Amino acid sequence: MRFSKMYAKTLKETPKDAEVVSHQLMLRSGMIKKLASGVYTYLPLGYRALRKVEKIVREEMDRAGSQEIFMPVLQPAELWKETGRWDAMGPEMMRLQDRHGRDFILGPTHEEVITDIIRNDISSYKSLPLSLYQIQTKFRDERRPRFGLMRGREFLMKDAYSFHATDKSLDDEFENMKAAYSRIFERCGVEFRSVEADSGAIGGSGSQEFHVLAESGEDEIIYCNTCGYAANLEKAESVVKENSNSKEDLKPAELLDTPDVSKIEDIAKFLEIETSQTVKAITYMDTLSLKAYMVLQRGDYEINEVKLKNLLNETDLVMLSETDLIANNLIKGYMGPYNIELGDMILVADESVTKIINHTAGGNQVDTHYINVNYGRDYTADIVGDVRSVKAGEGCPRCSEGVLESARGIEAGHVFKLGKKYSESMGATYLDENGKTKTMTMGCYGIGVSRTMAAAIEQNNDDNGIIWPMSIAPYLVDVIPANIKDADQLGLAEKLYAELVNKNIDTVIDDRKERPGFKFKDADLIGFPIKLIVGRGAKDGLVEIKIRKTNEAFEVKAEEVISFIQEIIVKG
């Protein structure tokens, strides 16, 4: 490719509305262009990188025994009504009608379509297991599309689906896919971690996420510093730290005046106790089921709303407003589980609450608190479970010595054991060896192809621009004749460029009439892994090779350039 002809308009200034570095650098290097919020065009350089990620994904999926198909983006509403997701997906689903007024959607994922294909096509255990995948544009009307390709409304996903006769067969495929995902992210040159995850709206039993580690990541992941335990925050567990008074005898509950003391820290200070000896009460309502909940949490812990939704089997929990509180005779800052008329409100307790001896809780009157309240003796909850957000520094739930640490991650891949969720609701059955009808067991496996590309940049950049991992760089080499008016320089640059192209090495020659400094800046911004600079040494047959990632520079004889570059590429 000749730089003079390349459609890549680089920008000096950082675009104002781009918050994260991958978005800024992709815009500045002319790789993508915004059409609407969360909707982007891939320009030539960006599209080359995307296709390289796609190629790695395809090769590894094929290698893992999955077969590529291509399903329609446009899907009839009926299928989604069968599984109940026509309603459950809510406003994230892009909906439309055809000319006859029939409802359709633009696929956010394809469980319904694939299950429909399989239930009609597969009838015998002999055809199972079966794994199929596609690489396709997905549509999700995200509440907050942002960070460029990271959270788009239209984005490229690889989605795979597997069908099995037995749970064991699904377990095997789950492991097979995890191994394939590790190879994919390794080959993409990103630092990643796989973590236990919550199954979310897709449902099912086991689930594991692959996170690219980066400060800007939207997710928090928790991992043990000793054993292999790792989970995302929505799933992570920890050991509840015992209070110092945990051996104390139960004392009688007592109402105290606590004027103007409503915050947990203040009440702990006022009573000279640890915040872990207090209990806070937070009230929620689900906008769909209309059920109301009072949720109790130990004073030093926070409620994790994803865990809470899963425990309660609710989808749209919101905190009660002050007006709702007043309407229910509840007093903000002074709510507690003891001596309260809850009516239809359901009482939920984090498991940590049930273990506190003689805890403090709201008095259910302004400026009062109870002390020495005890779970079991004074009140019981309707539902008890783990709804706590784990924090770094807490004890590992798997090994006795480990301490939990936390890191930020970008979720690039997700593997689920779906079980029978879709096969049951859609009737995907097969006949077993004895001719008996059984329901298939399913798995599904996603990779955000466009998000992975952005995540790679998020992890690999410096003040000058992108530092592409070799395997997904749009081009590997930028040949830069320092002075194109110098016949020796231009001649040698053109010759080396032709040789590199002949060897199928993705190469650009910067033949623009610009100063060398200007060209170097663009080269670093775009992130070519290798710069081949043909300068004054050209007349003696010498060139300079610079490595973007390490900043190393080598003086190399012209006739050795190809083998030198090939070696760098192999090393990665």
Q: By CB under 6 A, name the binding residues for ligand ATP.
A: 109, 140, 142, 151-152, 155, 157, 200, 411-414, 446, 448, 450-451
Q: Compare residues 144 and 571 and give the one whose CB is closer to ligand ATP.
A: 144
Q: Compare residues 404 and 453 and give the one whose CB is closer to ligand ATP.
A: 453
Whole-number minimum distance, CB 228 to ligand ATP, in Å?
A: 21
Whole-number minimum distance, CB 167 to ligand ATP, in Å?
A: 22
Q: Compare residues 129 and 152 and give the one whose CB is closer to ligand ATP.
A: 152
Whole-number minimum distance, CB 143 to ligand ATP, in Å?
A: 10
Q: Compare residues 142 and 506 and give the one whose CB is closer to ligand ATP.
A: 142
Whole-number minimum distance, CB 396 to ligand ATP, in Å?
A: 25
Whole-number minimum distance, CB 312 to ligand ATP, in Å?
A: 20
Q: Are 158 and 135 in contact (CB under 8 A)?
A: yes
Rg (CA), the chain: 29
Q: Compare residues 33 and 126 and give the one whose CB is closer to ligand ATP.
A: 33
Question: How is residue 296 written in tokens?
Answer: 């109790």
Alpha-carbon distance values, 76 to 90, 133, 157, 176, 444 (Å): 16, 20, 20, 32, 21
Burial 411-442 (b: 16+ CB within 10 A, else e): bbbbbbbbbbbbbbebebbbeeeeeeeeebbb
Q: Compare residues 200 and 491 and give the one whose CB is closer to ligand ATP.
A: 200
Using DSSP, state whether 138 is helix, strand or coil: strand
Q: Compare residues 135 and 509 and give the one whose CB is closer to ligand ATP.
A: 135
Whole-number minimum distance, CB 207 to ligand ATP, in Å?
A: 9
**CA dihedral sign of residues 91, 96, 102, 107:** negative
Whether residue 129 is preceded by a cis peptide bond, meaning omega within 30 degrees of 0, is: yes
Whole-number minimum distance, CB 235 to ligand ATP, in Å?
A: 12
With tokens 């594991």, the residue in question is 208
Q: Compare residues 155 and 468 and give the one whose CB is closer to ligand ATP.
A: 155
In the complex, which residue's CB is closest to ligand ATP?
Answer: 448
Please state the length of the chain. 572
Helix (H) or strand (E) holding 555: strand 553-557
* Pairwise CA distance, residues 121 & 123, whole Å: 7
Q: Compare residues 28 and 138 and give the one whose CB is closer to ligand ATP.
A: 138
Whole-number minimum distance, CB 92 to ligand ATP, in Å?
A: 8
**CA dihedral sign of residues 106, 108, 110, 111:** negative
Question: How is residue 89 written in tokens?
Answer: 């997906």
Q: Are 232 and 195 in contact (CB under 8 A)?
A: yes
Whole-number minimum distance, CB 19 to ligand ATP, in Å?
A: 15
Helix (H) or strand (E) holding 308: helix 305-312
Q: Compare residues 142 and 171 and give the one whose CB is closer to ligand ATP.
A: 142
Using DSSP, state whether 424 is helix, strand or coil: helix
* Pairwise CA distance, residues 212 & 229, whole Å: 17
Question: How is residue 233 written in tokens?
Answer: 């925050």
Report the 10 Å Cβ neighbour count for 407: 18
Whole-number minimum distance, CB 53 to ligand ATP, in Å?
A: 11
* Pairwise CA distance, residues 450 & 135, whole Å: 11
